[in-house]
């Protein structure tokens, strides 16, 4: 017997009111933990126990502390919060149900650092669950956390035989959490992994059993360092970091396309300098490169490094490149795609059960998928269609709550089906 | 009889502890007003009464309010602070001393938005008067305000005959205050204007009677507007404002030199974009152009506008240019240069009395100088040499307090000399 | 009965010794015409009779005249040469063989404006048929002309019933000849069109029955016009066309990738200016854009036009864009692919008969293919594999002459097979 | 007694009909030598005997040979031409006239590689002495060679006592001949050096006795080397030399201005690439930097080298920089300026005798001036005003022939005056 629709809606709205950006999911993790305890599991790993050391793109201590304070004020369990100190967010819940395969479900839980719409027609405004934190669940990870908990409870109540693990992964939006979670030992015995996303342009009532074309991605932060000089009196004393950065931006987008497939570059956020009358001493590019394959991504990033070095040299500056996040490309396995598609076809709430689909973006679930596949297991990344008025990452994004329960049910049925196919 | 050295040092340290950036000189103005009242003047104009409407580069209301709050907490006179609301800082003090010429002295009073050194060898640290506001008097305007008050008191006690006005001008660092103060009516009857700066590379004991080569300057804020797009899934939907900005930066510095004399360009502060995975929708350049003459400055700015338009067109964006501050070029008049040089030569604390000098920068005192000169009057811009360990605008800049009293005395003597030369 | 291997080799070597670039194939056309006459056909259209008016990228009169002179000296038939005056090269040969379909074969005949290797290991050097013109057959069009003639002779001697036309197309390398040949009326009744290329990385013994992924392409010539100025004495009088061009190059490569598929840009040949001490008055970019679809190509070209306009504006110059050549994307039709593949499979010299293949380049055979397809006919573009030591367009490119006869035979058999499938 | 006006006009028109660019002044040198022999001198040094080894910007052998052939066809003395082989042009003529100072006169003799106007109103067209070589005397060096010969003859006939040398210097337009001529031993004993130019904006009838503000200059040729790749099929295999060059151009003009004075940069001639569909393998910038002082020029060139290296690195290419020509800055000495001014004042054809003047350009006469000055001697660079319809280096530049004789006379009188002032 599965969980109720109303319960899922209520939970999702709670998460929606408390969006927290990457590595700051303090309240969110505490709330997830309290719900896991209510459900009852055999093992529970929180924060540093759920992650390997290799976290990427962790904010500075002051920023973390400010969100931790907010989480405390919002009523997060103090003991759990203490265990998350330093931005060690996320959790792994384990059900040991006797003989059978080890099956994993991965959901991500972070929000985005952007303001939510105040439009009266925006459902969270009308229904009173708009964000209270300044951040926003603009990509549906509130629904993902909810579905993760829903499936955990449903599998608990099912005939599932084997071991079931739910990975509540932090920091997907900065592609920083997938790597350390994939390297924690919890994934090592997983033979079947399900990951999921809501929306992506697919409407409520449609389930896509396997997404395929994840672009490999590397996010970087390049800082240029020069030397200041008075722009009027002594411009020749300056070494201009903004000129270096601007040259790098122009050449970055000009990296030759690769003949093996799609590539992408973006200088998504840049800045530099201090005052109009000072030759700028410092500048930065916070950006990314992507590739249809990991090799194309690597080619593009290698060329980007040359661009940074050359632009710095041109202006007598130095450039320093830090990798902030990364994810490989990945493919869904046919056996699991079939299982999800059959589960979707037999679900009365699903109008359309699609086999394969495409998103053209990146995701660090690919780290977990690759890990399982390299260990000889199978993985798929399913999409739970949902009508969303605004696009992903925009101020008016929202999830159709009617899609929550079909999502929970199809995934639960798939997980149970896996346990039945393996003796 | 002149004011005492110790009194000047004490006052200068007070100002040094409370640096406030342009248009936010709330505590500073209040402190100046209280000192003017102690000295006793015939007329006093504060804030909106001291300035014409045409202020440039005023910060937004929130920023102003935050500094106003700080000024209140630091003990500024509430009534004076109220009169400065909206960033109407600065004051004009007037002594009416019977028949004779109208003589003006212009000093600037703002600090810089940068942190002060915490080095133990930095005098303000060792002597306990380091900045308490986060900003810094890194260009000696604390000494300027002090000298302005010192001269006011000394002239009061002198044989000066005529009208004497001290202009405590705000917002020099953003070249935003010179224009509205020059257009206030207080300058219209001034026949002789003295302006001054400490340091500029000249050592304690040297006075330069007239500075000449101010570069004309225009400060601008150019914003580029494009359209966002997902950098992975739909890059072609974006119109990339960061690419437009970077192209503009590269071409801005590439504007052809002018054969009639020196020119300068600087993209001193730039930024753009929001996230690594979004094609940047917005970007900006906060910069300046200068010219050895106003015509060269105008040529360079006209070319800069073409660069902005072209860069925007290249990336299907739009560009919007706002002039934030400006100042013309100016020259010191020989008659006043002679008067200051003679006063310096006869001062026992002055080791070297130089006639003409050069700084190679810009200053909006030129607005006041030009106004007086256009009305048929005379103006000079004197430099009071002072040993300064760090360069202007750096974290370790400091004023040698031994230069304060000679500065007050030479200027007072010059002002008295003017009243004696005119029947 | 097919033509002999030795005859093909001899003919190919003749063409190889006389490479002529686009629209300058005077000797080549005359030699083709003499061979056609030897073979004997029912109709023959030469030069202006073989082409519509809309030729692209025709060189100037002086250049044409110089190659015409060379063709005369090399012994080209004077009457034929006269008919080619003005760069009207190429020919269409027609065999009328009674009832049956109208089948076309298109081959291109131009060389490249580059020097051939003088390496002793380069076969044309060793065997004494290296280029005598300064240009080079570095892309195998000598083999194409030869195969075209070979197939004409073989079809003449075969059981083919219907009408057979061979299109000897000029100016493929500048994608300038495909359009006017496709618009001549000779193509209007063609129901089945074969085009071909040798090599493309496929070895001797392999035939690829249908190439699919032709990129749509537009070649352009953009000229920037500014104004000169003495670089020392009056740089501000200049309007710098080289700066405009350089800015355009940087931004051209930076045009955002399109999410619907591959795009390409190239500023393949650029230049500008006259002397080191003159601000450059003129500059140009001779380049191209491509797209996986015609729509992507059009998007990229539209953005390129903005780049040119913006770069010109940035430097107070003007930009003028001329389209020099273009070709759409195209696909091979399954029915003809099958026919060619079966013919290849049954040929004893063919070791590998591949169905579909890919080259990732552009070709103006697509104009002819599209025309036939739009008229309801079928087209395929086959590749005759050939070992080639150097890459296409390099100094050591060469054709394995063992591939000539299998090429002629497979195409002849395919053409005969078409006539047999249609009653 | 001085030479006749008509003789000077005739000679100048001969030179005008035979302009030869730098290091190709074969006919010109032969004609000068024949005239020197007619005049009769004590010593004559031609070609390699007149120059040190360090020639800059010498064209390749093929180019030299082609101009040598032309010189032979135009009737140049075969023996003299043989001695100029390899581009060793120019000559030094010496008159030994007993006791007295050694005085030098330097004139330059090369033309420019540009076409001359065919306008009927252009005097050389109307009078039938337009260029016959394709190049053009568009900067008056035909007049310079003529004046040099005229002064030689006039000094021969004068009371001059001492040694007089005329330096007929080649390759001024590429600033390539000044250095090797200054390093030949012929200059080592020269105590007084006169150099000259006609025109420069000064009208017929005006003589400027000393030009002062020569900018130091370095001309460079930078080649960028990458790797080719097919722009459609394998763009990622290419390393794009045109992108490197374009990046370098943008950044070259963006080198920070120097606070000590004027600087200049120019990418006067650029090019690269071979075909629209090949990623460009090679590109070049032929350009220059200048400075108000030699130090500013050196600063700018050092920064330019960083720009080249950085741009090459950015695109995985290499850059190679060759210095093609250079000249230091220089000043005219007051004593010689006075002598020339007095000679001009006493000449009946001179309406205006100006002391000092300015051109804002560069000249490699400065090498000779510096050498003499470093040896303790004096130098001046005089301007012989001449009305010129078109600007220097334009197609309609021309010299007013009425200025030739005053030029010869004033220089002769100055040279004689020098010999009289020194016992």
Residues of D with CB under 8 A from a CB of B: 250-257, 259, 261-264, 360
User: Do residue B236 and residue C251 have CB atoms under 8 angstroms apart?
Assistant: no
User: Do residue C306 and residue B315 have CB atoms under 8 angstroms apart?
Assistant: yes
Which of A251, A259, A264 faces C257 most closely, judged by CB atoms? A264
Q: Is there a single domain that holds both residue A227 and residue A177? A: no
Q: What's the rounded mean pLDDT across residues D295-313?
A: 97
User: Do residue A236 and residue D257 have CB atoms under 8 angstroms apart?
Assistant: yes
Chain B partners within 8 Å of D251 (Cβ): 250, 254
How far is CA C40 from its chain centroid? 26
Contact of D67 with D26, CB cutoff 8 Å = yes
User: Do residue A262 and residue C264 have CB atoms under 8 angstroms apart?
Assistant: no
Closest-CA residue in chain B for A325?
B276
Residues of D with CB under 8 A from a CB of A: 229, 233-238, 240, 243, 247-248, 250-251, 254, 256-260, 279, 299, 303, 306-307, 309-316
> pLDDT band for position D42 (50/70/90)?
very high
Which of D113, D232, D276 faces C360 most closely, judged by CB atoms? D232
Burial class (CB in 10 A: 0-12, 13-18, 19+), D395: middle
Q: Is there a single domain that holds both residue D236 and residue D353? A: no
pLDDT at residue number B63: 95
Closest-CA residue in chain B for D252?
B254
pLDDT at residue number D230: 85
End-to-end CA separation in angstroms for chain B: 23
pLDDT at residue number A290: 95
Rounded distance, CA D207 to CA D199, Å?
10
Which of A259, A263, A264 faces C360 most closely, judged by CB atoms? A259
B275: domain CATH number is 3.30.70.360
Closest-CA residue in chain D for C290?
D232
Which of A230, A253, A274 faces B243 most closely, judged by CB atoms? A253
Query: For the segment B318-339, what is each residue's pLDDT rounded down to a tens digit?
Result: 999 999 888 988 889 999 999 9
User: Do residue C314 and residue B315 have CB atoms under 8 angstroms apart?
Assistant: no
Q: Is there a single domain that holds both residue B257 and residue B395? A: no
Rounded distance, CA D340 to CA C162, Å?
95
3-state secondary structure (DSSP) of residue C10: helix
Query: For the segment A123-137, what is each residue's pLDDT rounded down to a tens digit?
Result: 999 999 999 999 999
- Chains touching D (3+ CB pairs < 8 Å): A, B, C
Last residue of a domain, one of A312, A327, A342: A327
Mean pLDDT, rounded, of chain D: 95
Picking from D213, D257, D268 by the largest number of B CB atoms within 10 A of its own CB, the best residue to mutate is: D257
A275 Rama class: left (phi>0) / alpha (psi -120 to 50) / beta: beta
Give percent above pLDDT 90 in chain A.
87
Q: Residue C200 is encoded by which pair of tokens? A: 């493309």
Burial letters C178-213, b for 16+ CB under 10 A, else e: bbbbbbbebbeebbbbbbbbbbbebebbbbbbbbbb
Chain D partners within 8 Å of A312 (Cβ): 310
Q: Is there a single domain that holds both residue C208 and residue C86? A: yes
Query: For the segment A96-111, what is each residue's pLDDT rounded down to a tens digit?
Result: 999 999 999 999 999 9
Query: For the segment D150-168, what is each residue's pLDDT rounded down to a tens digit?
Result: 999 999 999 999 999 999 9
Number of separate domains in chain D: 2
Bigger pLDDT: B363 or A30? A30
Q: Is there a single domain that holds both residue A247 and residue A290? A: yes
Q: Is there a single domain that holds both residue D142 and residue D270? A: no
Chain A partners within 8 Å of B219 (Cβ): 276
Chain C partners within 8 Å of D274 (Cβ): 114, 268-269
User: Do residue D259 and residue A279 have CB atoms under 8 angstroms apart?
Assistant: no
How far is CA D22 from its chain centroid? 8
Query: For the segment A45-93, what is each residue's pLDDT rounded down to a tens digit?
Result: 999 999 999 898 899 999 999 999 999 999 999 999 999 999 999 999 9
C44: domain CATH number is 3.40.630.10
Query: For the segment D337-373, what is each residue's pLDDT rounded down to a tens digit?
Result: 999 999 999 999 999 999 998 777 788 999 999 999 9
**Which residues span the domain enclosing C285?**
216-327
Last residue of a domain, one of D295, D327, D359: D327
Which of D258, D279, D313 faces A310 most closely, judged by CB atoms? D313
User: Do residue C306 and residue B299 have CB atoms under 8 angstroms apart?
Assistant: no
Chain B partners within 8 Å of A361 (Cβ): 230, 232-233, 277
Which of A279, A299, A316 faces D236 most closely, judged by CB atoms? A299
Give percent above pLDDT 90 in chain B.
86
pLDDT at residue number B423: 58
Query: For the segment A316-373, what is each residue's pLDDT rounded down to a tens digit?
Result: 999 999 998 889 988 899 999 999 999 999 999 999 999 998 777 788 999 999 999 9
pLDDT at residue number C2: 60
Which of B245, B277, B359 faces A233 most closely, judged by CB atoms? B359
Q: Is there a single domain that holds both residue D14 and residue D85? A: yes
Chain A partners within 8 Å of D251 (Cβ): 243, 247, 314-315
pLDDT at residue number A56: 86
Rounded distance, CA C45 to CA C32, Å?
12
Q: What's the rounded mean pLDDT across residues A268-291?
A: 94
End-to-end CA separation in angstroms for chain C: 23
For residues D321, D327, D328, D333, the Cα torsion angle rounded to the nearest 10 degrees is: 180
Q: What interface predicted TM-score (ipTM) does this complex get?
A: 0.79
Q: Is there a single domain that holds both residue A391 and residue A335? A: yes
Smallest Cα distance from A229 to chain D, Å: 11
pLDDT at residue number B1: 46
Which of C235, C251, C254 faces B256 most closely, judged by CB atoms? C235
Tokens 């330059």: give the residue: D108
Describe the strand order of the beta sheet including A263-273 as a list of residue ranges: A318-327, A216-225, A282-291, A263-273, B263-273, B282-291, B216-225, B318-327
Picking from C174, C222, C227, C232 by the largest number of D CB atoms within 10 A of its own CB, the best residue to mutate is: C232
pLDDT at residue number C359: 73
pLDDT at residue number A1: 46
Describe the strand order of the beta sheet including A91-97 as a list of residue ranges: A43-46, A91-97, A162-169, A102-108, A192-198, A378-384, A206-211, A352-357
User: Do residue B257 and residue D263 have CB atoms under 8 angstroms apart?
Assistant: yes
Give percent above pLDDT 70 in chain A.
99
Q: Is there a single domain that holds both residue D53 and residue D133? A: yes
Which of B250, B256, B263 faces D250 most closely, judged by CB atoms? B250
Query: For the segment D203-240, what is each residue's pLDDT rounded down to a tens digit?
Result: 999 999 999 888 999 999 999 999 998 888 889 999 99
User: Of C246, A275, D251, A222, which Cα lies nearest the Cα of B285?
Assistant: A275
User: Of D263, D273, D348, which Cα lies nearest the Cα of D302?
Assistant: D263
pLDDT at residue number B2: 60
pLDDT at residue number A308: 98
Chain A partners within 8 Å of B112 (Cβ): 275
Smallest Cα distance from D211 to chain A, Å: 28
Q: What's the rounded mean pLDDT across residues D317-325?
A: 94
Does D379 have pLDDT greater than 60?
yes
Closest-CA residue in chain D for A251?
D314
3-state secondary structure (DSSP) of residue C332: coil
Q: Is there a single domain that holds both residue C173 and residue C250? A: no
Query: For the segment D86-130, what is each residue's pLDDT rounded down to a tens digit?
Result: 999 999 999 999 999 999 999 999 999 999 999 999 999 999 999
In A113-187, which ranges are E strands? 162-169
pLDDT at residue number C156: 97
Smallest Cα distance from D213 to chain A, Å: 22
- Chains touching A (3+ CB pairs < 8 Å): B, C, D
Query: For the segment B168-190, what is each residue's pLDDT rounded down to a tens digit?
Result: 999 999 889 999 999 999 999 99
Closest-CA residue in chain D for B253?
D254
User: Do residue C314 and residue B314 have CB atoms under 8 angstroms apart?
Assistant: yes
Q: What's the rounded mean pLDDT across residues B245-263?
A: 94
CA distances from residue B398 to A230, B125, B388, B403, C11 in whole angstroms, order as listed: 17, 11, 5, 12, 89
User: Do residue B276 and residue A264 have CB atoms under 8 angstroms apart?
Assistant: no
Chain B partners within 8 Å of A252 (Cβ): none
Model-wide pTM > 0.80: yes
Secondary structure string (H, E, C) spanning B21-52? CCCCCHHHHHHHHHHHHHHCCCEEEEHHHCCC
pLDDT at residue number C350: 96
Does D43 have pLDDT greater than 90?
yes
Burial letters D210-238, b for 16+ CB under 10 A, else e: bbbbbbbbbbbbbbbbbebbbbbbbbbeb
Which of B249, B266, B276 faces A276 most closely, judged by CB atoms? B266
Last residue of a domain, one of A295, A327, A359: A327
Q: Supply the DSSP symbol for C363.
A: -
Which of C247, C288, C393 faces D250 most closely, judged by CB atoms? C247
pLDDT at residue number C1: 46
3-state secondary structure (DSSP) of residue A42: coil
Query: For the segment C14-55, what is each residue's pLDDT rounded down to a tens digit?
Result: 999 999 999 999 999 999 999 999 999 999 999 999 999 989
Does D421 have pLDDT greater than 90?
no
> pLDDT band for position D423 (50/70/90)?
low
Q: Is there a single domain that holds both residue C231 and residue C197? A: no
Q: Is there a single domain that holds both residue B289 and residue B180? A: no
Smallest Cα distance from B262 to chain D, Å: 7
User: Do residue C310 and residue B306 have CB atoms under 8 angstroms apart?
Assistant: no
What residues have CB less than 8 Å from C422, skipping those under 6 apart?
A: C100, C101, C162, C191
Picking from A310, A315, A321 by the largest number of D CB atoms within 10 A of its own CB, the best residue to mutate is: A310
Residue spans of chain C under pLDDT 50: 1
Smallest Cα distance from A264 to chain D, Å: 14
User: Do residue B273 and residue A269 have CB atoms under 8 angstroms apart?
Assistant: yes
Q: Residue D389 is encoded by which pair of tokens? A: 């319809």
């Amino acid at each position: 017997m599965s969980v109720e629709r109303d319960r899922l809606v209520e939970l999702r709205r709670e998460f929606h009111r408390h969006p927290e950006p990457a590595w700051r999911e303090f309240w969110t993790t505490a709330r997830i933990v309290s719900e896991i305890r209510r459900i009852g599991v055999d093992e529970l790993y929180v924060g540093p126990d759920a992650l390997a050391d290799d976290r990427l793109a962790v904010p500075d201590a002051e920023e973390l502390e400010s969100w931790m304070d907010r989480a405390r004020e919002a009523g997060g369990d103090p003991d759990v919060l203490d265990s998350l100190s330093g931005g060690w967010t996320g959790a792994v819940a384990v059900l040991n149900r006797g003989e059978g395969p080890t099956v994993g479900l991965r959901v991500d839980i972070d929000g985005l650092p952007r303001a939510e719409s105040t439009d009266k027609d925006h459902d969270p405004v009308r229904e009173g669950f708009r964000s209270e934190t300044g951040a926003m669940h603009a990509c549906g990870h509130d629904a993902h956390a909810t579905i993760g908990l829903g499936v955990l409870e449903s599998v608990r109540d099912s005939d599932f035989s084997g071991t079931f693990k739910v990975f509540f992964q932090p920091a997907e939006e900065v592609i920083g959490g997938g790597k350390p979670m994939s390297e924690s030992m919890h994934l090592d015995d997983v033979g079947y992994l399900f990951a999921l996303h809501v929306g992506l342009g697919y409407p409520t009532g449609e389930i896509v059993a396997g997404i395929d074309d994840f672009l490999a991605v590397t996010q970087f932060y390049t800082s240029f360092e020069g030397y200041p000089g008075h722009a009027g009196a002594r411009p020749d004393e300056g070494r201009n970091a903004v000129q270096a950065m601007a040259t790098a931006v122009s050449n970055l987008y000009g990296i030759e396309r690769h003949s093996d497939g799609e590539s992408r570059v973006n200088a998504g956020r840049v800045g530099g300098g201090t005052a109009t009358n000072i030759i700028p001493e410092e500048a930065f590019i916070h950006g990314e490169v992507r590739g249809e394959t990991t090799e194309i991504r690597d080619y593009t990033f290698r060329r980007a490094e040359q661009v940074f070095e050359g632009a710095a040299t041109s202006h007598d500056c130095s450039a320093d490149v830090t990798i902030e996040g990364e994810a490989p490309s990945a493919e869904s396995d046919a056996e699991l795609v079939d299982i999800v598609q059959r589960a979707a076809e037999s679900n009365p709430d699903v109008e359309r059960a699609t086999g394969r689909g495409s998103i053209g973006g990146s995701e660090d679930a690919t780290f977990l998928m690759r890990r399982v596949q390299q260990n000889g297991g199978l993985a798929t990344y399913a999409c739970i269609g949902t009508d969303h008025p605004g696009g992903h990452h925009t101020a008016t994004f929202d999830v159709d709550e009617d899609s929550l329960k079909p999502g929970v049910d199809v995934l639960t049925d798939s997980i149970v089906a896996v346990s039945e196919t393996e003796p």
